[in-house]
Chains A and B, each alone.
Chain A
Amino acid sequence: MPLDTDWALAWIRTAAAVVSERRAHLVDLDREIGDGDHGENLQRGFAAVLAKLDGLGGDAVPADVLKTVATTLISTVGGASGPLLGTAFLKGSQAVAGRAELDAEGVVAFLEAARDGVVLRGKAEAGDATMVDAWTPAVDAARSAAEGGAGPEAVLRSAADAAVAGAVATEPLVARKGRASYLGDRAIGHRDPGAESSSYLLVAAADAAEEVRS
């Protein structure tokens, strides 16, 4: 089944459920190196997104869903992840504007624009122990999968796997952005909560694509 509006809706509903389920884990990760509000902030943001999705018209395309996610997260999250993820979804939605469904190249275009949005907003680079460390490996894996001829679902799964590995790989890093950067070397050994939650979002996207098909 194609990555159409039903997929986009399923993705965001899955993501909201996962964020809610893992809220305590995100709070714990953030309490170790940040201000401890990441799980709560994201849960509040995605709860608001769910309420907004019901108001979308029947002629909505995936970009409409993703743009609604963007503006709602920006308005409701209340921490840095609001503008960061909001900008990601906003730029991503613009990259696939008007398309009724995403093919492999569309998935790559979305991910790349989203990642660029995070970088634009947060000015972090790969290796700074931020959500960029989940998004950038995801973009790279998606691109090489697409170039290898993989279909859109497989491209998404490659991206999700790479994001999960990327989040794990933030553990030995010294955080160079955000509240965790105040800790210096003491942040070493802690997984970045933003990279962790971004990996959940991309896993949800891949899960939704496979669900929709089966």
Chain B
Amino acid sequence: MTGIVVVSHSRMIAEGTVALARQMAPTTRLVAVGGTDDGGIGTSFDAVSAALATAGAGGAEVVVLCDLGSAILTTETALDFLDEAERARVVIADAPIVEGTVAAAVAAETGGDLAAVAEAARSATGVAAPHADERLLRGADAVERSAVIVNASGLHARPAAELVKRAAAWQSDVTLNGVDAKSLIRIMGLGLPAGSTVHLMATGPDAEAAVDDLVAAIESGFGEDWV
């Protein structure tokens, strides 16, 4: 399973971010590292190196989320001291630290590999305005269909991650209720309860097949026991 390291200047930010993500990813290896060795504000090379080793134990792949500049510099320097094979298993995701960690953790919890978890982190933007890209696909020759969420707890973390994974497999651009269906944080941001009708729209070479696949997945409850 892909591990996640959260590097902040502040131990409290790192630990708080991990605690938040842990709610939705109870079994994922989430490692918080923040502050200097004497407990001040800053980043510690030794502590970051140790966190990378913990998250990557047993050859696991690791996605790292950082806050300000020197957290990234310290992490990059720590990566320089790893051997090539170890380094190839680590990605620093360019993402907002809190939203990115939550999205990455959900992706890791649902079995995402290094690329998928890093992409989930990177796409974790636009939280304040999930509908900002609403009309992106309108006006084109879009394929449109509706479906009803049948999962008892709505489109919560696991089915949301499943939907995003399936949407990402298609070449076409796909939106669900106007937001990018390939962005976990945006789909989760919709907070769709059971019984909601959702509107899918896709444009691209495989738009028809993409919409068929996603409608079928939504109506089957993503294989969850939803009754």
Contacts and interface: CB of A to CB of B under 8 A. Distances in A.
Given A78-B36, A82-B74, A83-B76, A178 B69 contact: yes
A199 B45 CA distance: 25
Most buried by A among B37, B42, B73: B73
A78 B40 contact: yes
Chain A interface size range: 10 to 19
B77 A83 contact: yes
Contacts of B74: 82-83
A10 interface: no
A-side interface mostly: helix
Contacts of B73: 80, 82-84, 121-122
A78 B77 contact: no
B76 A78 contact: no
B212 interface: no
B41 interface: yes
Nearest to B70: A80
Contacts of A41: 42
B124 to A, nearest CB: 22
A179 B42 CA distance: 13
Interface string A80-96: 10111011000000000
A75 B46 contact: yes
Interface of B: 36-37, 40-46, 68-70, 73-74, 76-77, 80
Closest 7 CB pairs of A and B: A78-B42, A80-B70, A78-B36, A83-B77, A83-B73, A74-B45, A75-B45
Interface of A: 35, 37, 41, 74-76, 78-80, 82-84, 86-87, 121-122, 177-179
